[in-house]
Amino acid sequence: MNVLQVQVECYAGHRGDEIPRAVVIGDRRVTVVDMLDRWLGPDHRYFKFTGDDGDAYIIRHDAGADVWELTMFGARSRQ
C-alpha cells in the first residue's frame, strides 16, 4: 500500500481521544468539514472525512510511532 506521511491538527475531546481537525499535505492545509467514518485496525486508527475542498480522504494514525499517513484520496469531479 502506498501511503504519504502528513501533519495532522487534532482536537482532544473530554475523553482525550484525538480527532483530526485539519491535515497538512505539503504546503496545503485541508480542514475537516465532515467526519464520515472512523474505525480501529489492528495497528492503526482510521478516519474518513470530507475536506473543505470537497474531496474525500482517509488518514490513519499509528499511535505507537505517533505517525499520521494519508492512505486514500478521492477528488470530486470538477466541471
79 lies in some domain:
no
Per-residue pLDDT of 25-49, as tens digits, reads: 989 999 999 999 999 999 999 999 9
Report the domain count for the chain.
1
Partners of residue 19 on adjacent β-strands:
11
Find all residues with CB under 8 Å of 18, minimum gap 6, and list them. Answer: 10, 11, 12, 61
Per-residue pLDDT of 56-67, as tens digits, reads: 999 999 988 989
Whole-prediction pTM: 0.85
Containing structural domain, residue 60: 4-74
9 lies in some domain:
yes
59 lies in some domain:
yes
